[in-house]
Structure formats: C-alpha cells, structure tokens
Amino acid sequence: MNAAIQTNIARLQIMKAKVLAALRKGENYELKTELNSEYKERRKEAVRRVIANMTVGKDVSGLFTDVLKNMHTDDLEIKKLIYLYLINYAKTQPDLVILAINTFVKDAEDTNPLIRALAIRTMGCLHVQEVLDYLCDPLRKCLKDPSPYVRKTAVMCVAKVFDLNASIAEENGFVEGVRDALSDSNSMVVSNAVSALVEMNDMAPGNNVWSLDPSLVGKLLTAINECVEWGQIAILETLVEYTPRDEKEAENICERVLPRLQHANGSVVLTTVRLLLRYEQFVRRADLLTQFSKKMVPPLITLLSSEPEIQYVALRNINIILQRHPKLLSKEIRVFFCRYNDPIYVKYEKLDVLVRICSERNTEPLLNELKEYAKEVDVDFVSRAVQAISRLAIRYDSAAEKAIQVLLELLQTKVNHIVQSSMVAVQQIVRRYPRRFDSVIEGLCEYIDDVHEPDARAALIWILGEYSESIANISNILTSCLESFLEEEDEGVQLALVCAAVKFFLKSPQQGQTLVLKALQTATEKCSNPDVRDRAYIYWRLLSADPNAARSVVLTEKPPVELDNADLSPQLLEELLAELGCVSSVLQKPAKLFVYRLAEKAGVPRGSDMVGMGLEDADNALASGTAGSSSAGGGVIDTTNEGEPELLISF
C-alpha cells in the first residue's frame, strides 16, 4: 500500500515538473512569436514583457536575437527598453552584441539629440572590449555635438571607455576632450566633465589625469550657480580637495560658495559646510571665520524640518561638526527638543546633541525637558534621558542640585523602569559630589524593595554602604539584603553587599560586627562565584590582620566620576570631517574601512576583520600585519566578481 502511494507521489512530481517546464518554455516561445509579429503594437508589448521578466530575474537571454530585430524603430520607449536589455546581457553574449553595432552607430547620428545621447550612453555601458573599436568615432563626434545633452552624456561615456582601456581613451584624445569640456558654456556639461575626470583620476591615480588650477576654479565657481543639485555636489567635492594658493583665494572661494548653504538639497548644504570647515585652515581672519560659522547655523537647523531619515543624517553630521565647534549651536538648543512623533532613532541622536550643546546657563530648561522624556513609555529612551540628566550634573556643578531634585521626583513615580535608571543616575551624581547630598540619602532607603535590576540594586547598596553613618536603620536594611544574598544572580550586587557590610563595620564596629561576620561567612562558605569568594577572603584577612589598614583601603577617598568620553579621536574626527555628508559621517567610520576601492588603496584586504574596527584599531592592525584574516563565517570576498556591490557592509 505504502509503495503504491509513493509511486503515485513520484509520478505527480514528475508531471508537475514537466508542466512547469512546458509553461516556461511556452512563455518564451510565446514572447518569441510576439517579437516577430507583423503588428507594431504586439511587438511593443512583447518587448515590455521581456523587460518585465528580466527585471524580476527570469532568464530571457534566449530571446537575444529576436529582441535585436526590433532595434530598428522610431519609438523612443521601445529603443530605451531594448538598450536596457542589451546592457544586461552584453557581458554574457558579447559576440551577439556586435550585431547591434550598426544600429548604435546610426542612432549616434540621428537628428534627435535624445536618441544620439541614448546610443552613446548604451555603447559605453555595454562594457565590452569588442564594441570599443566601433565606439571611438561616434564618441569623438558626440563630444563636439551642438546639443549640451549629448555632450554631457559623451563626457561620462569617456570615463567608461577609460575604465575599459585607458590607453585608447588617451590616444584618441577623449581625455583631452573632457578637459576641454570644463570650459563649456553649459553648466550641465561642466559638472559632468568634473565627475568624469574625478572618476578617471580614481581609476588611475598615478596618471594624474587632471588637477585644479586657479583658472579652472574660477570656471567651476561660475558654473556652480547654474548646475542642478548633483552637479553642484560634484563641483563642491572637487573644490574641497583643492588647496588654495593663498589666503585671499581661500576667502574668495568660501564667499562664492556661501549661497549654496541656502539650497533645498541637504547634500549640497552638508558638502558646502564640509568645504567651509576644510578651508578654515587657510583663512586667518577671525571676523570671516565667525561670519562663516554664523552662516552655517540656519541651514543646519532647516535640515531638522525635513523627513525623519534626513533629520537622522543631519543629526549624525551635526554631532561631528559640534566636536570641531562645540558652541556653534548653543543658542539653538530648543530646536533639538524631541517631538512626540519623532522616530526613536531621531530622538536618540537629539539627546546626544542636546547634552553636547548645553551650556551652564541653559541647564535648567534642559533638565525640565529631560524629566518629561523620562516619563515616556519607551524603556530605552527613558534610560538614555536619565543618563543625560546625570551627564549634565557631572559636567556642570551648578546643575547638580536641580538634577538630584528631578531624579527624586522620577523615583517617586514608582514606575519600574524609571526607578531603575534613576537610581543609577543618583549614585553617579553622589559619587561625583561626595557628602554634598547627605540629606537625601536616607530617603533613598524606601526604594530598596522597588529596585530589582542588578545595576540599580548595586548602585543603591553602594550608597547604603558609603553613607551608612547617615542612615538610622542601616543595620536592618543590610541584614534584610543579606538574607537574599545567595539568591542574587549578579556578582556586582553580591560584591556591593559584601563591601557595604565591611564599610558599615569599619564606621560602626559595635553595630556592624555581627553583620560583617555573617556577610563574610556567607560569601566565603556558600557563594559559588570565585570573584565574590576571593573578595570576601581578602576583606576577612585584612580585617583580622590590621583593621587600620583595612580602613585606609576600604574607606579611602574615591576618585570623582568623570564623563565617559563620547568624542571621536582627533584622527578619526579629521577623517570624518573630510567626508562630511557621506555615508562615512552617518556610520562614523572612514570610507577606507568599508569601500572596496578605498580599502584596497589603504591596504585593507577584502573580507578583513578590519571592516568592523575603529580607525585606530584598523591602523594598528595594518601596522602589525594582521589585516589579512577573513571575518568569522564570512570567508574572503571574491575579488574577481565584477558585479559585486561597492560596500563591504549592508544596511
């Protein structure tokens, strides 16, 4: 019976495979028939279906010759689709592409500039060596074409030819033609020429394809006013790399690019800011530098009125800029207050910026604002808001009183996640300002049953031990905590309890003798954690040998709590300022750690563990020669795959 069922299942599977194969074969056969139809509309619809199938990943390479037959058409839409098909399959069938050369050459001389540009663009995008010989004459003509649209397409095509064969591009004068295009009357052609030359320089850094000089800089500054946004970005990025001859030229360039700060495109604004920051080293007049700084503020603030994604990018870049100019946005603190409908990733960045730009005179309104954030429902956001309160108190002495008041109000809410975060913040402030807030210590004892998270519980127990002389019923509280000593899973809490018991004994020997004995016996005899046991043994032997020595060790003055250094290293900061407005500034990693071309130039192998490193770690790895190991489970990335992505990371 089972054998018969299995036989029938096998037959059904074979039939299913045959049906699917017939359907697939039938679809291509149907498309083949339609592509050869005598009716224009049917051929047009067939081409659309072929491109649709190609777009979703179906193999339609078998229709190559049939698609080629439809190239001879005046319909611009069909021509674009067929050219797209050719670009996709040119590398797999380079011999068949030669059949389309005559059509390309003919289209390159068409009366319609759109068709001429389409033909020259497609021939460049084919990236096939066999096409190169046929491309030279049309490309030479298109570089001198009367239509600026064709000329701007031609200069980009030169970069593709240069990538395929640099010697042919130079011997035929194409590179020189692109240099001449920098003097073109049309700004669109100029910006494309700049992009093409920069790209060729990157392809062959030793050839020195071109370099900026003062006369070219003047032409680019004239063209930038009429360029579209992408052209403006290309010119601005080129000017960023330019080194002015003297201070006067640097001032002139800065003043002429200042209007770009008013552009609606955020990338143009950030690239302009990058240029101004770069040229600060060449401008020595303090009044001009102050003027440039003031001009940067409004456009950066305007970016925060955009979509959340652009806000996030702007905030990440602002965070970097503020590390160079900490007081740049200090008067605009209210702009960075979180709105109720901000996405959480925007709120996180705003919190970091708020703490960074806050000055001593506006700590009070910011603390009131942070208090409201700490009452939100998002646990992580609440935790960050409370941390921001403690950071302000640690940074500014005058804000400590207000911060403690805010944190006590938050503790009174008895909301679990608020209480946990607030207790840790209170401990940090109390450590930063010892003996300054003795009056609030005893009131913290009422939260001993509300604090459950290890960090918060360890923080409260540390406060109890440090200020045991200020608490009336400290013995009962610590005894109650010791009863659940073995139930504590976190070693930090257990260590805090042992330390608190020893401190209480050293400050009040008569009252604390029984308690410390119980704590040390429990820790040494019943605790399974070796770190806790060793600490307890050290305390026990120290107390037995010399109580005065124990007092000098345990009750010694603690170093004040300092802010965690959230600033980037100077080297990394300079790298990121040079790449402001790029992916690097968002990831806060230099491009050489995740862009293949730049990584190889910097000596970072593909597939290297250095991709996830910081800049200093990566440089150390390069110096020690340990950069060649492949990432865990990832293996070495195939460097022969021409269609690979440009980034070593994924989003």
As a whole number of angstroms, the distance between CA 309 and CA 295 comes to 24
Q: At what angle do helices 113-126 and 148-164 cross, to 10 degrees?
A: 10
- Both tokens of 313, joined, read 């990018």
Element (H, E) at 46: helix 40-55
Q: How far apart are CA 299 and CA 458, in angstroms?
A: 46
Best CA proximity match to 68, nearest among 91, 90, 92, 49: 90
Span 523-579, pLDDT tens digits: 898 888 899 999 999 988 988 888 888 888 888 888 777 776 678 888 999 999 999
Highest-scoring range by mean pLDDT, 13-27, 341-355, 585-599: 341-355
CA distance 471 to 449: 16
Whether 214 and 249 have beta carbons less than 8 Å apart is answered as: yes
Of 126, 71, 137, 142, nearest to 103 (Cα)?
A: 71
Give residues with Cβ within 8 angstroms of 129, minimum separation 6.
94, 164, 165
Between 286 and 27, name the one with better pLDDT: 286
Contact between 282 and 270 under an 8 Å Cβ cutoff? The reply is: no
Query: Is the distance from CB of 297 to CB of 329 less than 8 angstroms?
Result: yes
Q: Which of 109, 183, 178, 179 is nearest to 147 (CA)?
A: 109
Residues 6+ apart with CB under 8 A from 174: 139, 140, 143, 158, 161, 162, 168
Q: Is the pLDDT of residue 650 over 80?
A: no
Q: How far apart are CA 598 and CA 629, in angstroms?
A: 18
Q: Express each pLDDT in 102-121 by its tens digit.
A: 888 888 888 889 989 998 99
Q: What is the pLDDT of residues 286-305, one digit of tens each?
A: 999 999 999 999 999 999 99
Q: State whether the Cα torsion 168-169-173-174 is positive or negative.
A: positive
Q: Which residues contact residue 108 at a Cβ distance below 8 angstroms, ignoring those fewer than 6 apart?
A: 116, 119, 120, 123, 138, 141, 142
CB 155 within 8 A of CB 180: no
Residues 6 or more apart whose CB falls under 8 angstroms from that of 644 comprise: 596, 637, 638
Rounded to the nearest 10°, the torsion over CA 343, 345, 346, 350 is 130
**Residue 162: pLDDT above 60?**
yes
What is residue 92's predicted lDDT score, i.e. its pLDDT? Answer: 78
Query: Each residue of 253-291: pLDDT tens digit?
Result: 999 999 999 999 999 999 999 999 999 999 988 999 999
- pTM value is 0.80
